[in-house]
Amino acid sequence: MAETLTIEKSPSDSRQASESPESSTLTLTLAVDNMYCGACIRSVEQALANLKDVQNARANFTQRRVVVRAKSTIEPEDLINALKNTGYEASLLADFSDTSQKKLTADLAQRLGIAAFASFNIMLLSVSVWSGEHAEMDEATRTLFHWLSAIIALPAITYAGMPFFSSAKTAILNWHVNMDVPISLGVILATALSFYQTFQGRDGVYFDAAIMLLTFLLLGRLLDQMMRQKALSSAENLLKLRQTSVRIVNEKGESQRIPVGTVVPGMHVLVAAGERLAVDGRVLKGESNIDRSIITGETLPHAVAKGDPVFSGAINLLSPLVIEVTAKEEQSLLCEIADLMATAEQQRGRYVQIADRAAKSYAPMVHTLAAITFLGWMIAGVGWQVALPIAISVLIITCPCALALAVPAVQVAAAGRLLKHGIILKSADALERLAPVDTFVFDKTGTLTQGTVSLLNGRDIDDSILAQAASLAIGSTHPYSQAIIKAANERGLSISPMPNIKETAGFGLVAGQGQKEIRLGSASWCGISELQDSKEGSDVFFKVAGSDAVLFHFQDSIKEDADRVIRALRSSGYEVELLSGDNKAIVNALAQQSGIETWRANVTPAQKVEHLQKLKASGHNVAMVGDGLNDAPSLKAANVSLSPASATHISQAAADYVFQGSKLFPVFFAVETAKKAHSLVMQNFTLAIGYNIFLVPLAMAGLVTPLIAAIAMSLSSISVTANALRLHTLKSEL
C-alpha cells in the first residue's frame, strides 16, 4: 500500500501565489537579455538577493532568465528596478516567448554585417600599405590610406561595438566587471593607439585588427546566440506546444472558440483530427488514436475511447473527440512537466557552482595579467606602442566565456535529450549523481512489473465484502487498491470512502477503531500468522474485526523489456538487485524472468532503507528504482533515484528522475545519458582551461596579435557549446 507524497510545484505563470497560505510566497521569472557571463550571473543574483522580501534568485545563463522566489508582498517593479540600478535591463516574463531572442539575433547579424563590410574595405587598404612597403610607397600616400582606414573604422567600430561598450559601461558604473569590460578595453585601446599613430604619421596602426576583432567577436556571439536558441530550455520547448484557443461544445451541440486560459474543469472541448490537445481531461465521445510521445517518449499511437484519460500536448490522429476538461491549463500535465524541468534547469549542480566560482574570480585575474604584461614589456624597454597591443591581446584572450558555458550547455542538452524519451529531470545535480553509480536496486510492483494488477479471485468474493474493501481501498493509490476499486466498479457496486482512513507504507490501510476496525493489507497487518506462498500472484487480505480474513489474490506481469534492460545493465558492469515486500515464491519467479541474481523478499520499507545504507557504507554508489509512492523513503536513501510514474501522479514521485511509459528502457537511457553528459562536461572544462593554459602565455610573450586573440576566444566559446550539442546526436547502445 502507498503513502501519498507531495512536492511543491513551481507555478507555470510568471507570477502566481503559492497555493500554501502558510508560505505566502510567489515565483516570478524575469528576462535579462544583457546577461552575458558568469560575472553577470553573480551580479544579477546578488542584486535581487539584497531585497528584503526575496528568498532566493537563480539565474539561468543559457536562457538569460532569472527565477525569483519571494514573499507575496513584493512587486515585480521592485525586482526590475533593482536590476536596472545594477545595470541590467529586465522584464517580467509573462509567457515563454522567444521574440526578444529573435530580435537580439537580428541585431547581432546587422552589426556583424557592418563590421564585416568595414573589415573588408580596411583590409584592402592595409594590404595596399603592406605591399607599398616593398614598392617604396611614399609617406603621404601611406598616411592617406591610414586616414581612410580611420574614417571607415570610427563609425563602424562605434556601431558594431555598441553591445560590448554599453555592457562594459554599465558594469563599471555599478562597480563590477564582466567579460565585456576587457573586450571593450581591448577594442578602444587598439583604436585609440591607431589614431595616435596615424596622427603622428607612424606605422603600427591597428584599425584592421580592431574592426576585425569586433567582427569575430560578433560572429562568435551570433553563433553562440543561434546555438542557444537551438539548445532552448526543455520547459520552453514544451510550453511552445500549448494551444492558444480551444473549441468548446455546449449542451445544445453549439461550439465556439475561446482562449485556452479561460477553460475550466467540466467544460466540453472538441478536438479535431490532427489537432493537439490543449487541456487535460477524459474522453466523453468518440474513439481515436493519439500521439502522446511528448508525454511518454513512446512513438506508437495510443488508442483511446470513452472514459479514457487524455493529456495536453498529445495529438489526436484519427477522428474527432469530445473531451471533458478535468484541470485548468496551468494545472495541466504539460505545464506540470515544464514546471519540474524549469525548476531543475535553474538550480545549481556541483559542476555549475565550480564554474561560477571560477568565473567570479576570473575578471580581476584578466586585468591583473594584462597589467603585468604591459608593465613587464615596458620594463623590458620596448616602448608603450609595442607593450600596449600585447596587453590588449591578453585582455581579449582571457575572457571566461567558454568556462561559463561549459556546464549549463551540457545540462540543458541532457535535459532535452531525456525529455524526448519521456524522462523528466527533477534535480539539477541528478546527472552528476547518476553518472558514478555502480549498483541498481529495483522495486518490484510498478517498476519491474507493469503495475496494472488484476484481481484473480474476484468471483469468489461476495459483493458486500468487495464493496467494503473498495470503500477502504479508495483511500490509496497503490495498484492493488486500484484493482479492487476497478473490480467493484465493473460489478456496479456502490462505493463511498470510509471515514478516518489511515495508511502505513508497506503494510496497508485501516479505518475505524477497536471492535469496529477494518483493515486491508499484508498478512501481518491483518493479524494472520501464516501465509501460503503463491506462485501466480500476490495476496492482500481484508479483515473486519471479529470476522475471518478474506483473501484478495492479484497478478501482475513483468514489463516487456525488463530482462533486456537488466542484461544490458549487468553487461555494462553494474550490480543489480531486487528488493520486494512480496513473498519469496513471487519474487524468485520475477527475478528469474528478469535475470536478477541477487534478490530479497518480504522486505519492509524500513528494511529497504537499511539495506541501501549498508550498500552505501560498503562503498557502493546506489541508484534506487521504485514506484515513487510507497518507496519514497528508499528513493531518498539512495545516492540517486528513478521512478516510473503515471501521468496522474507525476509531481508526487520523490525521485530525481521520473520516466513515463510502460517500459524499463528509460532507466538504461538515463544512466547512459548521465555518463555521456559527465564526459562532455569534463571535455568542456578541458577545452576551456586548456585554451587559456596554452594561449595566455603565448599572448603574454607577444606571440598572439589582438586579431588572433579575438578568433581564438570566439572559437573557444563556440567549441564548448557545439560539444554540448553533440549529446543530441549520440545513439543509445541498447
pLDDT-above-90 percentage for the chain = 14
Is residue 23 pLDDT above 50, yes or no?
no
Supply the pLDDT for residue 477: 74
The more confident residue out of 99 and 670 is 670
pLDDT-above-70 percentage for the chain = 78
pLDDT-derived band at 154, boundaries 50, 70, 90: very high
Cell of 319: 477522428
CB-based burial label for 494 (10 Å; 0-12, 13-18, 19+)? exposed
What tens digit of pLDDT does each residue of 244-262 get?
678 888 877 777 888 777 8
114-141 b/e with 16+ CB inside 10 Å = b?
bbbebbebbeebbeebeeeeeeeeeeee
Q: Which one is catalytic: 208, 429, 443, 656?
A: 443
Measured CA to CA, the distance from residue 176 to residue 85 in angstroms comes to 12
Supply the pLDDT for residue 622: 93
Supply the pLDDT for residue 685: 84
Residues in Cβ contact with 277 at an 8 Å cutoff, skipping those fewer than 6 apart: 243, 271, 290, 310, 311, 312, 313, 314, 315, 316, 323
pLDDT-derived band at 648, boundaries 50, 70, 90: very low
Supply the pLDDT for residue 271: 87
pLDDT-derived band at 31, boundaries 50, 70, 90: confident
pTM confidence score: 0.61
Matching residue, cell 506481469: 557
pLDDT-derived band at 599, boundaries 50, 70, 90: very high
Supply the pLDDT for residue 13: 39
Supply the pLDDT for residue 156: 94
Is residue 14 pLDDT above 80, yes or no?
no
pLDDT-derived band at 695, boundaries 50, 70, 90: confident
Which CATH number is 454-555's, of 1.20.1250.20, 3.40.50.150, 3.40.1110.10, 2.40.70.10? 3.40.1110.10
* Domain range annotation of the chain: 16-95, 109-230, 242-329, 347-421+673-734, 423-450+558-660, 454-555
Measured CA to CA, the distance from residue 521 to residue 605 in angstroms comes to 14
Residue by residue, DSSP assigns 660-726 as -SS-SHHHHHHHHHHHHHHHHHHHHHHHHHHHHHHHHHHHHTT-S-HHHHHHHHHHHHHHHHHHHHG
Of 132-136, 504-508, 627-631, which gets the smallest average pLDDT? 132-136
Supply the pLDDT for residue 294: 60
Supply the pLDDT for residue 504: 80
Is residue 515 pLDDT above 80, yes or no?
no
Name residue 578's beta-bridge partners. 442, 599
Are 615 and 636 a contacting pair, CB within 8 Å?
no
Supply the pLDDT for residue 15: 35
Measured CA to CA, the distance from residue 305 to residue 45 in angstroms comes to 50
Domain 16-95 shares a fold with domain 423-450+558-660: no
pLDDT-derived band at 83, boundaries 50, 70, 90: confident
Average pLDDT over residues 646-672: 75
Q: 445: which DSSP letter? A: I
Supply the pLDDT for residue 7: 27
548-558 b/e with 16+ CB inside 10 Å = b?
eebbbbbbbeb
Is residue 437 pLDDT above 90, yes or no?
yes
Give Dmax (Cα) for the chain: 117
Supply the pLDDT for residue 97: 47
Are 76 and 15 a contacting pair, CB within 8 Å?
yes
Average pLDDT value over all residues in the chain:
78
What tens digit of pLDDT does each residue of 405-414 get?
677 778 778 8
Measured CA to CA, the distance from residue 143 to residue 199 in angstroms comes to 9
Average pLDDT over residues 12-28: 48
φ/ψ of 34, rounded to 5, equals -100, 40
What is the three-class DSSP state of 363?
Answer: helix
Measured CA to CA, the distance from residue 541 to residue 520 in angstroms comes to 6
Average pLDDT over residues 62-84: 78
Are 115 and 156 a contacting pair, CB within 8 Å?
yes
CATH architecture of 423-450+558-660: 3-Layer(aba) Sandwich (3.40)
Rounded to 10°, the helix 350-379/665-700 angle is 10
pLDDT-derived band at 96, boundaries 50, 70, 90: very low
Is residue 462 pLDDT above 70, yes or no?
yes
Instruction: Answer whether CATH 3.90.580.10 is correct for domain 16-95.
Output: no
Average pLDDT over residues 458-486: 87
Is residue 440 pLDDT above 90, yes or no?
yes
Which CATH number is 242-329's, of 2.70.150.10, 3.90.1150.10, 1.50.10.10, 3.20.20.140? 2.70.150.10
Measured CA to CA, the distance from residue 52 to residue 391 in angstroms comes to 42
Supply the pLDDT for residue 157: 93
Is residue 567 pLDDT above 90, yes or no?
yes
Nearest CA to 447 out of 588, 597, 627, 309 is that of 627
Supply the pLDDT for residue 11: 36
pLDDT-derived band at 534, boundaries 50, 70, 90: very low
Supply the pLDDT for residue 542: 93
pLDDT-derived band at 362, boundaries 50, 70, 90: low
Measured CA to CA, the distance from residue 463 to residue 13 in angstroms comes to 47
Supply the pLDDT for residue 629: 55
Angle at 605 (CA atoms; ends 603, 606), nearest 5 degrees: 95
Average pLDDT over residues 610-635: 83
Average pLDDT over residues 288-311: 73
- 356 labelled catalytic: no
